[in-house]
Amino acid sequence: MSHRDTLRTIWDRGGETLGAWTFIPSPVSAESCARAGFDYVCVDAQHGAIGYDAAVPMIQAIELGGSVPIARVPWNEPGIIGKMLDAGCHGVIVPMVNTADEAEAVVRAVRYAPRGSRSWGPALAAPRHDDYRTWADSNIAVIPMIETAEALKNVDDILSIAGIDAAYVGPADLAISLGLGPAGNDGIAIFDEALATIITACNRHNVVPGIHASADLAGLRRRQGFKMITVSTDLPTLREALATELQVARAENLDSRGGESGPY
């Protein structure tokens, strides 16, 4: 297969995974993220402008580009979880998992019987593997999100559920749930302590700690102990790059600047 090792393979040997996030409903954007060299690229079907019809070619493009395709589903609902996996995702991030029962529901939606209740029908995913069911059990990553005060309180119970591979922190929703703003909370005790609590629980239960971040925050998150770190998102990266180029083009010293010409 063209993609790299699956996330679970990397994590099993103690490795770190750095990922990209897609809001733009485009296989071109998705493949470009993959070809940049990220370990995984996540199709955001919760907050991105991405429905299922757009997600399918994006998942294919990510794999073509040599990265691991995963998706954040809109909600903890077995139908959409199964459809994303049938389309070829190697893992699902599931938002707002607040209790052990909700975590159990995630695992059951991802795994086939006897551990779970996923319906058989991987029309797109199965032809890529000699034995898809065996491959899926060994490689698909179950990744509930820890992003509320309730989930923080229940984190040990959540992570005690067999079959969870990673826990993914949504720092904005977590901070809001703790009474803070959505960003800029590092150094605030209640936020720092929440992250430390989650990492400690992950280590206790042999679950990979993950978090949504940025390139600037990657070093801090790595030092804190996170092993799955999303460091770039396509839409804000594009927007910021375009704004920077426009600023350069408008600069008074434009004529004195060197630089490459465009592709044409």
Instruction: Please compute, for residue 48, the number of CA atoms within 13 A of its CA located in the half-sphere on the CB side.
Output: 25
Q: How far is CA 191 from the centre of its chain?
A: 21
Residue 253 has pLDDT above 60, yes or no: yes
At 46, which CATH number? 3.20.20.60
DSSP state of 148: S
The alpha carbons of the chain give a radius of gyration, in whole angstroms, of: 19
Categorize the per-residue pLDDT at 257 as very low, low, confident or very high, splitting at 50, 70 and 90: low
Q: Are 19 and 48 in contact (CB under 8 A)?
A: no
pLDDT for the residue numbered 252 = 67
With both helix axes pointing from N to C terminus, report the angle between 27-35 and 234-250 in degrees, rounded to the nearest 10.
Answer: 80
Give the domain range for residue 103: 7-246
Residue 255 lies in a domain: no
| CA–CA distances in Å: residue 42 to residues 53, 76, 140, 146, 252 | 16, 17, 14, 17, 40
pLDDT for the residue numbered 2 = 44
Q: What is the mean pLDDT of the chain?
A: 96
Residue 251 lies in a domain: no
For the chain, the domain total comes to 1
Q: What is the percent of the chain where pLDDT is above 90?
A: 94
Q: What is the percent of the chain where pLDDT is above 70?
A: 94
Residue 168 lies in a domain: yes
Catalytic residue numbers read 47
Rounded mean pLDDT of 218-224? 99
Residue 253 lies in a domain: no
Extended strands (E) in the chain: 17-22, 40-44, 68-72, 91-94, 141-146, 166-169, 208-212, 228-233
Residue 3 has pLDDT above 70, yes or no: no
Residue 201 lies in a domain: yes
Residue 83 has pLDDT above 90, yes or no: yes
pLDDT tens digits along 163-202: 999 999 999 999 999 999 999 999 999 999 999 999 999 9
Residue 261 has pLDDT above 80, yes or no: no
Rounded mean pLDDT of 138-149? 99
> Which helix H or strand E contains 203, and what residues bound it?
helix 189-204
Residue 165 lies in a domain: yes
Q: How far is CA 73 from the centre of its chain?
A: 10
Return the bridge partners of 93, or none. 72, 143
DSSP state of 112: P
Residue 147 lies in a domain: yes
State whether residue 92 is helix, strand or coil.
strand
Rounded mean pLDDT of 60-76? 98
Residue 150 has pLDDT above 90, yes or no: yes
Residue 261 lies in a domain: no
Question: Global pTM?
Answer: 0.94
